[in-house]
Structure 1
Amino acid sequence: MPDKPAGMRFKVRNENKNALGGLATRKQITIYFTQAVDAPSMEVLLYLPNHVSGPVPAFAGLNFSGNQSVHPDKGIFMSDRWINNNQKGIQRNRATEASRGSQASRWPVETLLKNGFALVTAYYGDLEPDHADGWQTGIRTSLQQELNLAPDQWGAIGAWAWGMSRIMDYLETEKRINSKQVALTGLSRIGKAAVWAGANDARFALVVSNESGEGGAALARRNYGETIAQLNRSFPHWFSPAYKNYNQAPDKLPVDQHQLLALIAPRPLYVCSAAEDQWADPQGEFLSAVHAGPVYQLYGKTGLGTAQMPAIEKPVGETIGYHIRTGKHDINLYDWQQHLAFAQKHFRKKAKPKT
């Protein structure tokens, strides 16, 4: 993955030390990728818990609908970028006030803050709009000279993952953040990007894949649920064009996703699935976590510690964690509670997660 551009800079646009009724400090930061006045940029939203002194751990991840969708907080700036119309409160590919807090069920901000964790997020479309022609206005085009990569040498998944590392660049400058305890998380396509970012950037201390499926945590050679061919047909912009060579021959892949997960070793990894989300292949996600285990063993770590698929909502694992819950493709409070417990375990915070 390419490094940060030489001219990258940060600007804190807004800070409110009494956000969410005093529970948090809210900061909004623009990351400019070059020194130019009209530089490509991404907007970062950061919530810090006010009741904890000293540097705090954080969960970081990209969102689907703009930062304003994460929480009803009216102080969050409204995204002015292109957004898919299939998201609530989006009209003519632009956010409206009705989108404020529309994704709040996926981001339990208060729960994270009460447990002493910061939350940092940015809209994935700031990096590349999620449609077949998005590369033309995203960083694959606007930064191709700075990154020394042609647009067709990588895909949108790579661009989104690259942006996650740029968030980490900022967090390393934020005194209230313990940059050695940043957990990276992602759902679905953003989960694919989170796994890729985690494999490439060892600064992320812990990585969470939430129903990332094909091209993420699920084994491609199982050819179950969403296949490589279906993925490339529906979303041709997500991956390098070379991936299409395996549309009809997944068995010819020289590697599979358990090897991608293994690149995160020896850092903690959590994989989660949903029982009704067969498109993402829960069994394939679990098996991928199982077969990443031998690499963890090379580091003297125990991976899952089992090869038996667990019962619904019975989490398993050691340095690799896994659960499958009831319900459909989504991320909910149950998922976050497991992520919190896993992070607290590995970040040496023993307190039981609060809700």
Structure 2
Amino acid sequence: MIKNKTASMLLGLCYAFTVQAQQRLANTVAGFPVNYSEAHVGKYKLPDPLVFNNGKAVRSISDWQGKRRTELLNFFGEYQFGQIPKQAIRNAEWQLIEENRSAKSNKAIRKQVRVYLSDDKTQSVNVLYYLPKQVKGKTPLLLHIAFQANNRAVADSAIQATYIYNKVGERLLAPAQAPQVPLDSLLAAGIGFATFYYGDIEPDYKNAIHKEGIRHHLMDTEKKQIKADTWGAIAAWAWGTQRIIDCLSQDPEVDNKRIALFGVSRLGKTALWTSASDSRIKLTIASCSGEGGAALSRREYGESISHMTDTSRYFYQFAPNRHQYVNNAAAFPVDAHELIALIAPRPLLLQTGDEDYWSDPKGEYLAAQAAVPVYQLHGIYPLLKTFPNSGNTASAFQALGYYMHAGGHGTIPSDWKVFIAYLQKFL
């Protein structure tokens, strides 16, 4: 159903990208209590990322890369995000829709491409990207997994409006520009910028798998039962992101060895899982990824597995297996520090907000701390000793970095100064 309801779209989709989307501190969510007190966190024990399933220690990079990393990827695939179907394509085709070599007052090359996610080309995603003209040779690129349609992502009137989904699955025409990304600053720093709307891959609403999107396309849900390890929406978004990287990597003007990935909230989780799964991504920035992302589940602070996987909320974003661990996070085979560790030794910046209690900013910092030994195994020594105050960049500019702004969920304009400096240092 297509409706031109721009107001309802704004309410439904902009919540996760800006600091104005503050979480109200509820005592219960989905019938489960919420803890916002450090005093009530209790004791917990994290699994050791450097111990094999058989109890033996990981002693070398070859141990990690050759076996332990695969063990952890399999655990996350089976129990948290779900497994990619065998029939999913591995190399996507793409079509150049538009190219302008004098965009942004002749400062950039603009390209719009359509990436096909299925052999029959019925499933596709529109990708918009800009390359700074002052760069000689191939350009490093930041790829943004976006809540917005492309015409809203940047200030460029030449981008045609497209459709997006609201929370109940209605397709709505995306309204006028509301740029959140400082494109001019990225271009001035010599960094290209690409963006796409995540709903083109898989609509973000309950039961979409039974109606539309790539999961529906690849599985006849009327005849095949959803299994315990069926891929959730996050895995679908991550897989689609990889297919977009397939295509960007073929552009001779893009440096395919220097592609970075950025996402916020559930798309921060997506960025982490994509980067954990795909070593082509050189650098990752995950904003407020919280539960199911960089925050430790075993801390039971803010949002928990119980809240996240309840059928009234976001169960569809994960493998059904994850729902088995309601009120039993201690038994979950892995935790967030191991998701972070899967990205090692590549650069990763975690950004949080000091008032985003629901997403547990301290839990993300502690997860990063617990992943440090895997970076150290690779000869990289991040310094994460003291939980920083908001605005303090002391822990930010290192291979495993952490930065917390003053405010709530998502990104604020000042974050981009940190992001761009991080990209300039590590990309």
State TM-score, norm by structure 2. 0.74
Match in the other structure for 2:415: 335
Distance 2:90 2:403 in 1: 41
CA distance in 2 between counterparts of 1:150 and 1:178 reads 42
Verify the 8 A CA contact 2:208 2:216 in the aligned structure 1.
no
**Residue 250 of structure 1 corresponds to which residue in structure 2?**
329
Q: Which amino acid is 1:138 matched to?
A: G
Residue identity opposite 1:30 in structure 2: R
Identical pairs, percent: 36
Q: What is the CA deviation profile of residues 149-176 of structure 1, one whole-angstrom value per residue up to 9, with x for unaligned ones?
A: 9865110000011111111101110111
Q: Who is 2:94 aligned against?
A: 10
On the 8 A contact 2:138/2:253 being kept in 1, the answer is: yes
Shift of the 282–81 alpha-carbon distance from structure 1 to 2, 3 Å rule, reads: closer
Question: Would you say 1:346 and 2:426 are equivalent positions?
Answer: yes
* Superposed CA offset, 1:132-187 (max 9, x none): 02223111121349xxx986511000001111111110111011111111111110
Deviation at 1:65, TM superposition (A): 2.3
What corresponds to 1:52 in structure 2? 135
SS at match of 1:158: helix
Structure 2 partner of 1:71:
154
Question: Could you tell me which residue of structure 2 aligns to residue 101 of structure 1?
Answer: 177
Relative to structure 1, the CA distance from residue 74 to residue 155 in structure 2 (aligned partners, 3 Å threshold; closer, same or farther) is: same
2:37 is aligned to: none
Aligned equivalent of 2:201, options 117, 122, 127 = 127
Q: What is the distance in 1 between the residues matched to 2:148 and 2:373?
A: 38
Higher relative contact order (CA 8 A, sep 6+): 2
Determine if the alignment matches structure 1 residue 310 to structure 2 residue 388: yes
Task: Give yes or no for the alignment of 1:142 onto 2:214.
Answer: no
> Which amino acid letter does the alignment assign opposite residue 385 of structure 2?
A
Gapped regions of structure 2 (runs ≥ 5) = 1-82
Structure 1 position 39, deviation (Å):
2.0
Instruction: Note the C-alpha offset of 1:83.
Output: 3.9
Question: Deviations 1:261-320 (Å, cap 9, x if unpaired)?
Answer: 0000011111111011111101001001111100000011112x1221012211215210
- The alignment partner of 1:44 has SS state of strand
Residue 349 of structure 2, aligned match among 262, 270, 275: 270
Query: SS of the residue aligned with 2:410?
Result: coil
Secondary structure of 1:51 counterpart? coil
Alpha carbons 2:92, 2:246 under 8 Å: kept: no
1:33 positional shift: 2.2
Q: Which amino acid letter does the alignment assign opposite residue 188 of structure 2?
A: K
Measure, in 2, the Cα distance between the counterparts of 1:132 and 1:92: 12
Q: Structure 1 stretches of 5 or more lacking a match?
A: 86-90, 348-355
Map 1:96-245 to 2 at 5 A.
Answer: 96=174, 99-102=175-178, 104-105=179-180, 107-136=181-210, 137-144=212-219, 152=227, 153-233=230-310, 234-245=313-324
Q: Within 2, Cα distance between the matches of 1:297 and 1:320?
A: 11
Question: Displaced runs of 4+ in structure 1, greater than 3 A?
Answer: 1-4, 149-152
Structure 1 residues 307 and 7 mapped into 2: Cα distance closer, same or farther (>3 Å)?
closer
Give the total of aligned pairs. 333
In 1, Cα distance between equivalents of 2:251 and 2:409? 34
1:97-133 alpha-carbon deviations (Å, 9 max, x no partner): xx2222x12x111111111111111100001110002
CA distance in 2 between partners of 1:109 and 1:31 (Å): 22
Q: What is the distance in 2 between the residues matched to 1:30 and 1:302?
A: 41
Distance 1:168 1:7 in 2: 10
Rate the CA distance shift 1:142–1:115 in 2: closer, same or farther, 3 A: same
SS at match of 1:170: helix
1:115–1:181 CA distance, 2 compared to 1 (3 A) = same
Letter in 2 for 1:297: Q
**CA–CA separation in structure 1 for the residues paired with 2:252 and 2:334:** 40
SS in 1 for 2:89: coil
8 Å CA contact 1:42–1:122 kept in 2: the answer is yes
Q: RMSD of aligned C-alpha atoms?
A: 2.0
| Contact 1:83 1:95 (C-alpha < 8 Å) held by counterparts | no
Provide Cα deviations, 1:197-252, integer angstroms capped at 9, x if missing partner.
Answer: 00000000011111000000000000111111111121121000000011111111
Give distance in 2, aligned partners of 1:160 and 1:68.
Answer: 20
CA 1:6–1:220 in structure 2 vs 1: closer, same or farther (change >3 Å)? closer
Cα deviation for residue 81 of structure 1 reads: 4.1
2:218 aligned partner, one-letter code: L
- Contact 1:7/1:34 (CA < 8 Å) preserved in 2? no
